[in-house]
Amino acid sequence: MIPTKGYAAQTPETDLAPWNFERREVGPHDIQIEIQYCGVCHSDLHQIKNDWFPGVFPMVPGHEIVGRITKVGDHVKKFKTGDLAGVGCMVDSCQVCDNCKDGLEQYCQEGSTQTYNSIGRDGVPTYGGYSNTIVVREEFVLHISDKLPLAATAPLLCAGITTYSPLRFWKVGKGHKLAVLGLGGLGHMAVKFGVAFGAEVTVLSTSPSKKDAAMALGAHKFVVTSDPAQVKAVTGSFDFILDTVSAEHDMDLYLSLLRTSGTMICVGVPSRPYSIQPFSLLGGRKSVGGSGIGGIPETQEMLDFCAKHNIVSDIEMIDIKDITASYKRMEKGDVRYRFVIDMKTL
Ligand code: NAP
Ligand code: ZN
């Protein structure tokens, strides 16, 4: 077994603290990565708080992992020791169902194995990227370009693919008016991709102070959602809204901003069910859809797109001992726009 250092929550009530554990030895199809940076996703906070379902504790969060490969198994073909590599939200799936065969491992019909807060197919709990090393089967490891700043690449593994995938699926681009609801980790990546795909992008935000930064990200318009006059001005105007909000919010209000036949794409995961008035949908033939992360082939496509177009996340680098304080700031929407842990501080 491989002795591993990490930060874990022992229960949903306790703060993260140093914790030593073991990872499996590198098997013939496995890759071991020395983790250099790990992004901090709002899903980490939801899961250590048991917001969605009872979690597997102790919990080592972290699914925006980048680092360098230190060991590869005998049968590994696509990677070698010394390569940069990334790991996102999944570390395994059945590999044989229709969805896995289609490169949609996140929708594996047996259920994909999450990078943490999951029981692996070997029966052992999975532990995430707030740690110094990880062992992952080759199929779930991504190639990372050395052309981009590595720390700012980490958030692409979740925030990046989670926004890239639905924008591609719904073919959002030239001629479309896209609204991004919530300017956090996911939201700021959605702005960058929406602009790169040619859409007119409006940010819908509860935070007036984010306006200048939103425009600097490439957004064309910024709407403060607490200002009725600003909201009225965009009512009935968007083809798509990408909803990245992590907390309860007024779906009827936001649906009213879609034009006829418009689509609301939900990627945020509040802990309570949405409430939607039927008239908000049928008055204007509106659709509500959802999307979960992205499959491995599309994640690689997104990383390659980012390397080609020089797209990374805007980050605030943190020391791992400041993780609890950073969660508190993230809960208040106070991060520009993704915390990334420098794993040297572990
Ligand atoms: P984040 O950085 O905290 O951003 C969320 C943003 O939502 C905030 O910055 C804030 O933006 C806005 N917001 C917060 N509370 C709000 C409220 N009550 N009403 C309206 N807006 C509010 O979080 P994140 O890491 O981007 O994650 C966002 C959500 O996506 C989380 O629920 C996370 O679990 C989920 N997620 C889903 C997937 C997936 O596969 N679908 C993958 C990753 C994450 P403003 O200040 O601009 O209002
Ligand atoms: Zn995430």
pLDDT digit string, tens, across residues 286-339 = 999 999 999 999 999 999 999 999 999 999 999 999 999 999 999 999 999 999
Choice from 244, 269, 329 to test ligand 1 binding pocket (greatest atom count within 8 A of CB): 244
pLDDT tens, position by position, 66-116:
999 999 999 999 999 999 999 999 999 999 999 999 999 999 999 999 999
Residue 204 CA: nearest ligand 1 atom is: 47
234: CB partners within 8 A, 6+ apart = 179, 202, 204, 221, 223, 257
Given this model, what pLDDT does residue 242 score?
98
Beta bridge partners of 265: 242, 289
Tell me the whole-structure pTM to 2 decimals: 0.98
Give me ligand 1 centre to Cα 42, in Å.
7
The model's pLDDT over 21-56, given as tens digits with 9 standing for 90+, comes to: 999 999 999 999 999 999 999 999 999 999 999 999
Question: What is the C-alpha R_g of the chain?
Answer: 20
Name all residues whose Cβ lies below 6 A of ligand 1: 41-43, 46, 158-159, 162, 182-187, 205-207, 210, 244-247, 249, 267-269, 291-293, 330, 333, 335
pLDDT at position 85 is 98
Nearest Cα neighbor of 113 from 95, 126, 100, 129 is 126
Of ligand 1's listed atoms, the one at least distance from the Cα of 338 is 2
Band (pLDDT 50/70/90 cuts) for residue 207 is: very high
Distance 117 CA to ligand 2 centre (A): 12
**Distance from C-alpha of 100 to C-alpha of 122, rounded to nearest angstrom:** 19
pLDDT in the model for residue 63: 98
**Is 228 in contact with 257 (CB distance < 8 Å)?**
no
* Tens-place pLDDT, residues 140-180: 999 999 999 999 999 999 999 999 999 999 999 999 999 99
Q: How many CB atoms lie within 10 A of CB 105?
A: 26
For 6-37, the DSSP string reads EEEBSSTTSPPEEEEEEE----TTEEEEEEEE
What percent of the chain is modeled with pLDDT above 70? 100
For atom 39 of ligand 1, which residue has the closest CA?
A: 292
Protein residue with least CA distance to atom 30, ligand 1:
268
